[in-house]
Structure 1
């Protein structure tokens, strides 16, 4: 018999679309956050060199020392964070970093405030730990920023954590320093942990990225980062969790019992990515922004409402005129009939109903053709 809380873990609505798409031919895939740019040669070379010298043994639970030291320097340089090596833990992508942070802080029945719309794993990981995700809204009328008044109403004596994701997946919203300071003040008054997902930190458009931990004065922020999106290393699976000081002993135990350690060749690739030439990151950012501008122009021409993102590489598009109150079912029909795979907004929370997420990290030709196949207002549903 399975643990009683397992049936409450929701399936990923994004992965469902992807799995259907994998069985079809000629699909325009805009559902996954998969960069279309290749990994930089110096990153691939570092991983290859590790394999060739047989650097494939166990390594420390927290990761190889050169990588952890490089992350410490990176955090000081780019995030205004001064941390020690023992606060940095290499993980299997940011997904494991997020789960690890929740394992560290949440008990069965504890409540965690999650953004809605928000990344699906926030809710899935909480449920996997028998914790209770409580959604807080990111509404269009507020520029998709959180309402501190709403959050105050949602906090109970069981609330233990609030998850903050800026730049946001799926919205592309970037929270300004004032908003982050307000969230941190709320967490301080209610003695909450803050889990900050900063996977899209390098992709912002006109709005600077601020790490909420840089504002933290009482060690309540845990921060998750990744090489996946920044360096097009989604399948390499290297991220890191930054913890408050004083947790190294328990973190070693948690890593040992979950993954032991991150594979060594991937860590050398991550080291090369962080320490090496960053020109390819800037080129990718320009490519994604150019894709947005072309996509936005076509959406406007076709009368399709959409959010202008301030970061990440997604486009949040309103298809409520066609989806009939069931955007998940509509997205499946769109895939089967039009061969366009999009992420249904409801996969990211209840307030995502009627919206879809398009990935801008695709070829411009595919992106624009996918948009042409969406039904415009007045055309009826293409699905």
Structure 2
């Protein structure tokens, strides 16, 4: 049979899915490897989807989504960034992953380079490679709190570099960019004629620090940097984590002015449009009662505190989680230089699944990502089985 092209064959395995699927096949395992919210979806959200089905609202929708949902996303984005809430720049997508694919499909050609955080979410690299682009990792290291350094980015820019990928709050790290760093990253992108794709999927979950959107400092933003002559930030939002709608696949890509027709054409060539009932559920989530979000935030914070107490007691180093719902922990004392193999062995021996740090890039060797979104008793029990460093 004909062979698939190299850029498809070489798309790496998602190690998060690898360990999680192994855990699902392991009876009575404690699954701390995947970010699946544990709360039931709010009833008014479910009823909005069911009402759409009851009235047979199952036809095509506009490429960019139904007007009420675009307006609701625009209003949320305005509250995050201070940027004018113009629904014409909002594209409803089938989850943040499709939004990432839509953005990169529009911005890069074969051979173009994209700067990607390492550690960073694995589909950043996977999607760039699938589109024939070249993922170029920028290092996030413990010595600098896993925050990007402008000098590291500057060394990596070439004539082929087109996009800077940012993610705050971070999956997998739980780190959050402050105002000064975010401003400098936007300035750097403008100075080097780069697009920014800002993954803000966890914007609703920060702990004692604000979420700062890069669009705030882009052209048209309330605090635009002097270098920002025209807008170049594309922002990815999702309802998957904020409202527990992981399976309904509803997100939004907020784009700079002037890209509307181009993105509509690319959208038509990929998924055409998103499911109508899911979109009506999204409207209800964004515009209805926000009890789910407040409850989830409190739960994740309490789980973070419970998890760090266990790690402190066991003498295991970790990065202080300021956002998202993950804890990044150093198990290098136990992993023997192959954390991917260690997580498989730990699952087999102890019945606990953790995401290996190498799922997120080579800089994650020796580290694991712990999901904080499930039941607290399982979280504490799972972490109590971790090996302690030798004295």
User: Within 5 A, what are the aligned runs for 1:88-107?
Assistant: 88-107=90-109
Alignment correspondent of 2:254: 242
Alignment correspondent of 2:301: 289
Alignment correspondent of 2:369: 357
Per-residue CA deviations over 1:290-320 (Å, capped at 9, x if unaligned) read: 0111111111011111111110000011110
User: Within 5 A, what are the aligned runs for 1:141-152?
Assistant: 141-152=143-154
1:144, distance to aligned residue in structure 2 (A): 1.5
Aligned match of 1:223 in 229, 235, 251?
A: 235
Distance 1:15 1:361 in 2: 17
Aligned match of 1:164 in 163, 166, 181?
A: 166
Gaps of 5+ in 1: none
Match status 1:334 vs 2:351: no
Per-residue CA deviations over 1:315-358 (Å, capped at 9, x if unaligned) read: 01111000000000000111111111110001101110000000
Per-residue CA deviations over 1:252-302 (Å, capped at 9, x if unaligned) read: 111111001000111011110100111220111000000111111111011
Distance 2:306 2:12 in 1: 35
User: Within 5 A, what are the aligned runs for 1:1-383?
Assistant: 1-217=3-219, 218-378=230-390
**Secondary structure of the structure 1 residue equivalent to 2:83:** coil
1:34, distance to aligned residue in structure 2 (A): 0.6
Per-residue CA deviations over 1:84-103 (Å, capped at 9, x if unaligned) read: 22210000100010111111
Gaps of 5+ in 2: 220-229
Per-residue CA deviations over 1:111-164 (Å, capped at 9, x if unaligned) read: 100001000010000000111111111111112110101111010111101000
1:378, distance to aligned residue in structure 2 (A): 2.5
1:247, distance to aligned residue in structure 2 (A): 1.4
Distance 1:364 1:4 in 2: 44
1:79, distance to aligned residue in structure 2 (A): 2.7
The number of aligned residues is 379
Alignment correspondent of 2:227: none
Per-residue CA deviations over 1:15-74 (Å, capped at 9, x if unaligned) read: 101121122210101000111111111111111111111111111000011111111222
Distance 1:351 1:251 in 2: 34
1:8, distance to aligned residue in structure 2 (A): 1.9
Give the TM-score of the pair, scaled to structure 2. 0.95
Distance 1:79 1:72 in 2: 10
**Secondary structure of the structure 2 residue equivalent to 1:295:** helix
Give the TM-score of the pair, scaled to structure 1. 0.97
Is contact 2:80–2:213 with CA below 8 Å preserved after alignment? Answer: no
1:4, distance to aligned residue in structure 2 (A): 2.4
**Secondary structure of the structure 2 residue equivalent to 1:95:** helix
1:83, distance to aligned residue in structure 2 (A): 4.0
Distance 1:195 1:296 in 2: 31
Is contact 2:81–2:214 with CA below 8 Å preserved after alignment? Answer: no
Structure 1's consecutive aligned runs of 4 or more residues displaced over 3 angstroms after TM superposition are none
Distance 2:81 2:44 in 1: 24
